[in-house]
């Protein structure tokens, strides 16, 4: 049995908000963004420069990164490129914050690997909307949008799951596990990938723990025959599929 050695992180508990790393060297702007992210239900982690950001990422992988273009030392553009060339961080959603408004600068930011680009000054409402849009595209399991798959309906806002209108009782981990599969259907995920996405990549858990929670989830879905949607792919992992 293989052990995955991880240290505790915010991902070890079920939460609806995202863990967002704010890389901004102006303390007042950093504090304002962090405050408003907290009010929006997210967990903000801050870094003053690229090197501190890289250390934060090594400590715990965030759900999204906000990066200011003009940073001391390594620029925001170079930090984005660094994150995109690393296998562990290449899929983390990134939004660039910058005072550069020219189209050529925006294109440079996007071509470096950023998912979106916000020009300063910006409103907190706009920032929250951009974060929600990027998470919906890149990490839909981090949003509160209701999800439907076949006869299953899952509502993160009310923390309810139902099959054809009949509610199903799930534990917090099984709920988050089902939410992840419902937002990423028809794709096979290994135990390690499931641990990274559902528990976080810095949690001390054995890979076989995934099997335990899969069994619990299937047991809860069995009375409605929805357990058949969750398939074991021998030697590869698990997938949620509409196919027989």
> The domain spanning residue 111 has which CATH number?
3.40.50.2300
Residue 202: per-residue pLDDT: 61
pLDDT in tens, 35-44: 999 998 889 9
- How confident is the model over 94-113, as a mean pLDDT? 80
**Domain tally for the chain?**
2
Last residue of a domain, one of 71, 105, 140: 140
Task: Give the number of other CB atoms < 10 A from CB of residue 84.
Answer: 15
Q: Where are the beta strands (DSSP E) in 24-132?
A: 43-47, 64-68, 94-98, 116-119
pLDDT at 244: 65
Q: Are residues 216 and 198 in the same domain?
A: yes
Confidence of residue 201 (pLDDT cuts 50, 70, 90): low
Whether the pLDDT of residue 110 is over 90: the answer is no
CA trace torsion 173, 176, 179, 185 (10° rounding): -70
Q: Cα dihedral angle (124, 128, 134, 137), rounded to 10 degrees?
A: -160
Which residues, including other chains, have CB under 8 Å from residue 235's CB and lie 6 or more apart?
none
Q: Looking at the predicted structure, is the pLDDT value of residue 11 above 70?
A: no
Is the domain of 154 the same as that of 182? yes
Is the pLDDT at 12 greater than 60? The verdict is no
Assess whether 135 and 180 both reside in one domain: no
Candidates 18, 4, 19, 2; CA nearest to 201 is 4
Residue 14 has pLDDT above 70, yes or no: no
Where is pLDDT greater, at 145 or 25? 25
CATH number, domain containing residue 214: 1.10.10.10
Q: Across residues 96-117, what is the average pLDDT?
A: 80
Place of tokens 């907290």: 38
Residue 13 pLDDT level (bands cut at 50, 70, 90): very low
Instruction: Please state, rounded to an integer, the average pLDDT across all residues of the chain.
Output: 85
User: Which pTM does this prediction carry?
Assistant: 0.63
Q: Flag whether pLDDT at 15 surpasses 50.
A: no
pLDDT mean over 6-32: 69
Structural domain boundaries, residue 36: 17-140
Chain segment 140-177, per-residue pLDDT in tens: 767 778 999 999 999 988 889 999 889 999 999 999 89
């Amino acid at each position: 049995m293989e052990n995955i050695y991880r240290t505790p992180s915010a991902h070890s508990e079920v939460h609806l908000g995202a863990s967002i790393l704010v890389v901004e060297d102006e303390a007042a702007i950093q504090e304002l963004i962090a405050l408003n992210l907290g009010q929006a239900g997210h967990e903000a982690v801050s870094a003053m420069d690229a090197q501190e950001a890289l250390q934060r990422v090594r400590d715990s992988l965030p759900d999204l990164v906000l990066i200011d273009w003009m940073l001391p030392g390594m620029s925001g553009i170079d930090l984005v490129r660094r994150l995109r060339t690393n296998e562990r961080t290449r899929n983390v959603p990134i939004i660039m914050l910058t005072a550069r408004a020219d189209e050529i600068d925006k294109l440079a930011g996007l071509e470096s690997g950023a998912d979106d680009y916000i020009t300063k000054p910006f409103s907190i409402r706009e920032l929250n909307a951009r974060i929600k849009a990027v998470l919906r595209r890149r990490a839909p399991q981090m949003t509160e949008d209701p999800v439907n798959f076949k006869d299953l309906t899952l509502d993160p806002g009310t923390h309810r799951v139902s099959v054809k209108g009949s509610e199903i009782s799930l534990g917090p981990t099984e709920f988050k596990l089902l939410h992840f599969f419902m937002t990423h259907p028809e794709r096979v995920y290994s135990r390690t990938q499931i641990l990274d996405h559902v528990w976080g990549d810095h949690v001390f858990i054995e890979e076989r723990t995934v099997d335990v929670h899969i069994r619990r989830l299937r047991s809860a879905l069995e009375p409605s025959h929805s357990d058949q949607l969750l398939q074991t792919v021998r030697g590869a992992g698990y997938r949620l599929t509409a196919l027989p």
